[in-house]
Structure 1
Amino acid sequence: MMFMLVGSSLLILAVSVDSRCVVTFSERSSGIGVQITTFNNVRYCEYRGVRYATAARFEDPVLHNPNGQEQYKREGSSCPQMNEFYHQQTTSGDEDCLFMNVFVPQFDRKKAGFGGFPVLVFIHGGSFQIGSASFEFDRADLLIEKQIIVISINYRLDVLGFLHYPLFNITGNYGLKDQQAALKWINRYIKFFGGDPNKVTLMGQSAGAASVSYHLYSDRSRGLFQQAALLSGSFLADWAYTYRPEHFAEEYFKHFGFNSRQQLLDRNASDFIELNYWQGAYFFNRYNTWPLPTAESDDDPSPFLTASPQELIIRKQALDVPLLVGITIHEFELVRFPLHTDHDRLNIPNRWNNNVWSQLRKFTEVNVEQFVEKVEHTWDQMIARGHSAPIFAFRFDFDGKFGRYKNDRLGRRLRSQHYGAIHGDDLGYIFTPYCVEEALASRADFQKEWAVHDRMTEMVANFVKHGNPSLQEFEWKPYNAEPNQKQYAVIDEIMEMKSGSLLEHHLYSFCRAAYDFSALQDADAVGLKLYLCNSSGASKWRLRRYISRKEYGSCPQLNDMNYATQTLWKSVGGEILLERFQRGAI
């Protein structure tokens, strides 16, 4: 799941308009980009704000045909969203937002035998609520130096991208349809940029990886890409699909006074985002969802998705293409509960603070386990349904200064004893690091980071080019090479292959101690139980199983809402929660 917007802050060593950075689509249409250099002073062409489609509100996208001389020199507008993930204040973006950025190595178009560069298309994360083509990375210097075209795309988000209400002719999944439209545009036009339309790798991270999962099962996406990479995400995740979109929509309309489609069309785009933010906790805690991908009717004019992810992985075979799949070792441990990095700021009575804090730190492992379990289950089901193309799996462990979330987002609040990468940190070693200026000025202080960055980009480039990420000095064996022995690469200062499940290091060797409530007083235990009992999915039965063995009884339900207890704990404090629990109010 992704979490903050960033601007273009990286070092640009040279910028110029160049005749070699002109794309000619036809005699009457062209696009003009700019020539810049990588941090190694290698020239390439950058095309920003390339329009791939247009779309009216709550309508499917329509492919854009280049017309006249189009300027690709500045970023296109992002789609409407809150400016930041955790501390939202204002909205940004415009509904005219279906743009992509295209980064192209320079080449001689007249060179004999040139068949086109392989293409990497990246779908950003952000919980389907925030993000853009520049979300979490601004450039991809080393990948471009390895002769790969890199593309990143915008797609519609939040209510405007995923509201589903057929009675108002709102079919939903517009964000996924935008992604598909971008792939169609690339298939049609990338040859004019020097790309090979038959050598496209689709990569996504977090919600972007969940999106890639959907495309692997979408008949309408077949033929638009030949390989896929899924980083820290799956469409089986709680935040990647909603089962009750119409119920949510009806309550949403009732709450804000919408009675017709026309009223929805008449509101400003920013109104939807602001309304959804200010009431987001209410709707999420009450209905355990927000606007997300969902199943459309078979009768819809152009459905993207007609079954749930659980149905798809059981009944349908995914596109049988080479896959690169991976997680980070700690994923959401420090992201899902960002306030917990500074326990003095928790809204918990002081007399509980130390005990509760120590237990919460342990229980973050449950969140990681649940997430990893769903990601790995997706891979296993693909194999069970006959996926024969190689699946290359990895766990990214390296703890370095290029990891954006850990170093830039959490900063000084981060506790030094947390070793290992968290959700999104691997992106800093695939694309150009966020702190590249500092790292270039002090290369000696970043030797380990540069080494992992070089290795990571080479592995990704090898996968994009050849369908195999192995290095000359490291043979990467497929996860599905042996029927009874899963294998995955551990990416750290030293690379190694490991056998077994990626889950092994999570729950079974760790959580037995985490579930030991003996160190807590009764009041502490009840409050902590209220905080934790409402975990969803695979972890819920384990929580009930362990807690029920203690004297504190079974887990309160709280309407089966994933984050309700978290919100209550942080908003009203443990003593009030305890009082409500004792009088049966929750």
Structure 2
Amino acid sequence: MKCGKKVVLFTLFAMNLVDQPAPEVSIEQGTLSGKISTDGSFFEYIGIPYASTNSTTRFKAPLPPPKWEGVYKAVDEMYQCPQHPVGLPIEVVGTEDCLKVNVYVPARAQGPLPVMVYIHGGAYVLGNGGKMVIGPDFLVKHNVILVSFNYRLGVLGFLCLHTEEAPGNAGLKDQVAALRWVKKNIAAFGGDPDNVTIFGTSAGAASVSLLVASESTDGLFKRAIMHSGSSLASWAISNDPISVASNILTLLGYDTKDPKEIYEIFSRLAVRDIVLATTHSPIPQLLTNYQLPLPCVEKHIPGVESVLTDLPYKLMTRNPKNISLMFSSTDKEGLFFINVDTKETLESKNKQTVFGDDLVFKTKDEENENDREIKKYYFNGAPISERNIMNLSDLYTHSYFEMPVIFEAEIMAKNIEAPVYSYYFTYSGGRNYVKSSTKYKNVEGACHGDDLFYTFQGTILPFRVNKDDQIIVDWLTKMLTNFAKYGDPSPKGEFPIKWLPHTKEQLNFLTIGDTLEMTSMRNPDIYHTWKRIYDKYRRSEAKL
């Protein structure tokens, strides 16, 4: 009977917390209120405008955020930028005025608190800062403030015509605006504006890498974490963005390569039509067909602030930020990509080389010679087919993620004095959500994006964390928040193993699987092959 009363009392307590207002916060824009989390452990301030945009400023940097009278209720989770949600019957969701930020503050911690700002992934065409994936529960219990936000996607965020009307990188400029908002306002929430760590996954990690390389972000953050992404990856930036824009318009029945005409067409199209133009193919095929809007190196335009003034490799080797860095990749990244391959796409790969346009060969014969070397390693002379599709998964894992991530970590470790850490995520458990949604859910290891669900308590996985998975959640969130607090993921007494950073002479990796282990590079032979190719053929000039 007593137990029953306790359950009733706890239920009433939890119900009373739902949508209860969090303490009001005053910033330059005005006063805002949020709500208390269901368990009372943190405050949520959701959907705060950090900048603004509309159809008249399409493709440009965002405008300043609005101000308001009275109290702004920061409780609406429905904001997202226009996109086509994969796997859902809805065609297009989101609105152009989507530049909102979410702030999650531990209720009982004493400030000023370290701040972790997460940049979502989604190939620059999908995703948002909402709690479906980026649930704050796992991280805020370590007494850090978590910030997430939306930025413009697809053509709306990454149309790059090298003109004043569409200079490029509007989505990246949204990210910079969000970081400037955090720097200016986070102290009002109890955060430390001088201790900000940015982190992201996939395209979010490539964005972090670009922001680390960019001169426009100096002083906006102290540390950076990149999960499964680098600006050195072949998919991270577009080297011919005007052709990409032209190719997308071709899908809508237009035929022009003139930047002025391209701009005029896109500026008058409805958002729905712009978003739906590229929904006919999976993202890997859009990338291969040069129909995926991506960040670009910007042409200098008087009066227009640039985020990316040169190729990322040149920026990071010429004048790198001396800040603490962390890099990671999973051991089976490629499962996500072979899941959308078909017999036809596999056959087509035998007629193409494996290289992207981030490599420039002097002759076609030279390209073919290097292609044969790579394919011999992965396929031993056999044609690419369903029989050796796991070998193709390894190729995707290495070329899209593991190698560019290692290349960047190695460059930074040799060129800065701040510590640089790397880890492999290989754990296979109940929260490997991405892998479980593929045809390869029984393959051991971690798919691209699987580590997200051991970092965040997203509502997409509402069930309780099992005992084994909880150990991984605790390890991963402890090391990430330690890094955000101290620049060291394993300070004495704070982690089960001492995690060694890279040195200028030696690369060191932590493997996070069923156990924690310091290891050397997983795939040294193919690393040396890819490194030789990139050292010799890496693109050295942007097409402007």
**TM-score, with length taken from structure 1:** 0.74
Secondary structure of the 2:336 match is coil
Q: Which residue of 2 aligns with 1:560?
A: none
2:428 is matched with which residue: 382, 399, 412?
399
Task: Give 1:325's match in structure 2, choosing from 327, 338, 352.
Answer: 327
CA distance in 1, matches of 2:432, 2:85: 21
Partner of 2:370: none
Letter in 2 for 1:63: P
8 A contact 2:235–2:287 mirrored in 1? no
Q: Does 1:420 align with 2:422?
A: no
Mapped to 2, the partners of 1:414 and 1:21 lie a distance apart of 46
For the pair 1:191 / 2:217, whether they are aligned, the reply is no
Distance apart, 1:142 and its partner CA: 2.5
In 1, Cα distance between the equivalents of 2:435 and 2:522?
22
Partner of 1:105: 106
The answer to whether 1:226 aligns with 2:222 is yes
Alignment deviations for residues 360-388 of structure 1 (CA, whole Å, 9 cap, x no partner): 2223212212131111101111223x211
What does residue 129 of structure 2 align with?
133
Closer/same/farther in 2, CA of residues 248 and 260 from structure 1, 3 Å limit: closer
Q: For residue 507 of structure 2, what is the aligned residue in structure 1?
A: 486
Q: Distance in 2 between matches of 1:146 and 1:485?
A: 31
Q: Is the 8 A contact 1:390 1:479 kept in 2?
A: yes
The one-letter amino acid paired with 1:484 is E
- CA distance in 1: counterparts of 2:511 and 2:287, whole angstroms: 37
1:495 pairs, out of 511, 516, 520, with 516
Counterpart CA distance in 2 for 1:380 and 1:478 is 14
Percent identity reads 28
1:266: Cα distance to partner?
Answer: 2.1
User: What's 2:293 paired with?
Assistant: 291
What's 1:302 paired with?
A: 305
Aligned to 2:172: 176
Contact 2:22 2:33 in 1 (8 A): no
Deviation at 1:145, TM superposition (A): 1.3
| 1:159 aligned partner, one-letter code | V
Shift of 1:330: 1.1
Other-structure match for 2:41? 43
C-alpha separation between the residues in 2 aligned to 1:239 and 1:346?
Answer: 19
Counterpart pick for 1:369 among 394, 398, 409: 398
AA in 1 matched with 2:231:
F
Q: CA deviation at 1:277?
A: 2.5
What does residue 149 of structure 2 align with? 153
Deviations 1:240-283 (A, max 9, x none): 11111123334544642673644432221111111232488899
Which of 66, 72, 79 aligns to 2:81? It is 79
CA contact (8 A) 2:238 2:295 kept: yes
Aligned position for 1:439: 464
Secondary structure in structure 1 of the residue aligned to 2:506: coil
Is the contact between residue 172 and residue 207 of structure 2 (CA under 8 Å) also seen in structure 1?
yes
Q: Which residue of 1 aligns with 2:371?
A: none
Conserved 8 A contact 1:101-1:153? yes
| 1:434 CA drift (Å) | 5.3
| Letter matched to residue 378 of structure 1 | E
C-alpha distance in structure 2 between counterparts of 1:166 and 1:33, whole Å? 40
Task: Work out whether residues 366 and 507 of structure 1, in 8 Å CA contact, stay in contact via their aligned partners in 2.
Answer: no
From the superposition, tell whether residues 154 and 13 of structure 1 become closer, same or farther in structure 2 (CA, over 3 Å): farther
Q: Which string of whole-angstrom CA distances, capped at 9 and with x for unpartnered residues, describes residues 433-470 of structure 1?
A: 55754325xxxxx2110111112111111111111111
Q: Return the alpha-carbon distance in structure 1 between the equivalents of residues 262 and 329 of structure 2.
A: 43
CA gap of 1:13–1:233, structure 2 versus 1, over 3 A, is farther
State the one-letter code of the partner of 1:438.
Answer: F
Q: Which residue of 2 aligns with 1:561?
A: none
Separation in 2, partners of 1:503, 1:62: 46
Equivalent residue of 1:223, what SS?
coil
Match of 2:478 among 449, 458, 470: 458
What TM-score does the superposition give when structure 2 sets the normalisation length? Answer: 0.79
Q: What amino acid does structure 2 have at the position aligned with 1:231? A: H
The answer to whether 1:336 aligns with 2:342 is no
**CA 1:76–1:23: 2 relative to 1, 3 Å:** farther
CA distance in 1, matches of 2:281, 2:480: 41
SS in 1 for 2:463: helix
Secondary structure at 2:337's aligned position in 1? coil
Unaligned residue ranges in structure 1 (runs of 5+) = 1-11, 109-113, 349-353, 441-445, 510-536, 543-586
Q: State the partner residue of 1:311.
A: 314
> Quick one: distance in 2 between partners of 1:317 and 1:478?
25
Distance (whole Å) between structure 2 residues aligned to residue 457 and residue 18 of structure 1: 27
Deviations 1:68-104 (A, max 9, x none): 22111111421111111x7886111110100111111
**2:172 & 2:337 partners in 1: Cα distance?**
24
**How far is the alpha carbon of 1:347 from its aligned partner?**
9.9
> What is the root-mean-square deviation in Å for CA atoms of aligned residues?
3.3
Amino acid at match of 2:327: V
CA contact (8 A) 2:158 2:293 kept: yes
How many residue pairs match? The answer is 474
Tell me the distance in 1 between the aligned counterparts of 2:27 and 2:445. 46
Distance 1:483 1:211 in 2: 25
The CA distance in 1 between the partners of 2:461 and 2:289, in whole Å, is: 42
Matched-pair contact (CA < 8 Å) for 1:329–1:421: yes
For residues 14 and 347 of structure 1, do their structure 2 counterparts lie closer, same or farther at Cα, with a shift above 3 Å needed? farther
Indicate how the Cα distance of structure 1 residues 389 and 88 shifts in structure 2: closer, same or farther if over 3 A, else same.
farther
Whole-angstrom CA distance in 1 between matches of 2:255 and 2:384: 45
Any conservation in 1 of the 2:50–2:101 contact (CA below 8 Å)? yes
Q: Secondary structure at the match of 1:426?
A: helix
Contact 2:22 2:44 in 1 (8 A): no
Q: 2:34 maps to what in 1?
A: 33
Distance 1:190 1:77 in 2: 21
Letter in 1 for 2:469: E
**How do 1:269-288 residues align onto structure 2 when only pairs under 5 Å count?**
269-278=271-280, 284=286, 288=290
Cα deviation for residue 414 of structure 1 reads: 2.9
Tell me if structure 2 keeps the 8 A contact 1:203–1:230.
yes
Looking at structure 2, the residues matched to 423 and 281 of structure 1 have their Cα atoms a distance apart, in angstroms, of 14
**1:337 and 1:404, CA in 2 relative to 1: closer, same or farther beyond 3 A?**
same
Checking the alignment, whether the CA contact within 8 Å between 1:76 and 1:100 is kept in structure 2 is no
Instruction: Tell me which amino acid in the other structure corresponds to 1:423.
Output: H
Compared CA separation, residues 306 and 206, structure 1 to 2 (3 A): same
Structure 2: how far apart are the matches of 1:358 and 1:479?
Answer: 39
Match of 1:3 in 2: none
- Secondary structure of the corresponding residue to residue 103 of structure 2: strand
Counterpart among 451, 469, 472 of residue 489 in structure 2: 469
Q: Please tell me the residue identity of whatever aligns with 1:99.
A: K
Contact 2:403–2:527 under 8 Å retained in 1: no
Relative to structure 1, is the Cα distance of residues 42 and 16 closer, same or farther in structure 2, using a 3 angstrom cutoff?
A: closer
Task: Report the CA distance shift for 1:322/1:13 in structure 2 as closer, same or farther (over 3 A).
Answer: farther
Q: Which segments of 5 or more consecutive residues in structure 2 lack a partner in the other structure? A: 1-13, 349-382, 535-544
**How far apart in 1 are the matches of 2:527 and 2:65?**
52
Match of 1:121, SS state, is: strand
Q: Offset of 1:150 from its aligned partner?
A: 0.6
